[in-house]
Amino acid sequence: MDIARYGEPVSGAAAAFFDLDKTILARSSALAFARPFYKGGLIGRSDVVRSAYAQFIFLASGADHSQMESMRTYMSELVDGWDVAKVREIVAETIDEIIDPVIYEEAVALIDQHHAEGRDVIVISSSGTEVVEPIGDRLGVDIAIGTQMAIEDGRYTGEILFYAYGEGKAEAMRELAAERGYNLGASYAYSDSITDLPMLEIVGHPTAVNPDDELRAIADEREWPILDFERPVSMRTRVNTGQKVAAGAGVAIGAAALGLAWYARRRRA
């Protein structure tokens, strides 16, 4: 199924894979929507406080394995019964306000550089697809992959079909490379967290971005490049200057098309 926005990839072509939180964005994309979800009646005040605390911990030290597993359980229990259309509506209405101020200018430039050099750019994040896909669309990336929740009758069931975390990210990259003809040995990957070591290890050009202490130590030991991003830029400014943000919701449609087949295969397995 064709999901390209910049044309068909050449067989064996390189791609660039980006984590989202603290790599492209200066905060957690999932936790950032706690207040809009509260105002929309999806969560209670205690959930807002808990999300604010989690955001603080995330910014201060990054999320380790146990915190990511706790987030998985919390997310599964929290969204059970949510109306999917309502979630998408809230994200669409607030994405510029919530995400606009926290995108790294250096990440934008790097995405543009990879596109200029003919590579597809893929964002892969543990946040839910309903959050990741609109952000990917704003950034003008080719594919956006997020955590996929099961949906029945327009509502989340609480079941997580695919958790885009750790080895799961690497598995998604392998399947995508097989489907799209990417050469992982010639490809690039960027992340801030030691939990994303699997996605960094399967490409020929791994880079640590704003790395936590554990990832920084490994990057130093293996002589991987280390980048420290700190300058935010407005996504609306990026759109208005006519950079590579095209085709409206193309990235969301593309990722969903990929997901329907891919997640279905995973569930059958």
pLDDT, tens only, 173-228: 999 999 899 999 999 999 999 999 999 999 999 999 999 999 999 999 999 999 99
Which CATH number belongs to the domain containing residue 50 in this structure? 3.40.50.1000
7 within some domain? no
Kindly report whether the global pTM for this prediction surpasses the value 0.85.
no
Is 9 contained in some domain? Answer: no
Residue 19: active-site member? yes
Instruction: Please check whether residue 3 lies inside any domain of the structure.
Output: no
As for how many domains the chain has, the answer is 1
Choosing from 2, 21, 96, 153, the catalytic residue is 21
In a domain, 171, yes or no: yes
- Residue 258: how many CB atoms within 10 A of its CB? 20
Catalytic-residue membership of 100 = no
Catalytic residue among 19, 120, 192, 212: 19
- Angle at alpha carbon of residue 229, lines to 226 and 231, rounded to 5°: 160
Q: Which domain holds residue 141?
A: 15-268
pLDDT per residue as tens digits for the range 13-50: 999 999 998 899 886 666 666 666 666 666 554 444 34
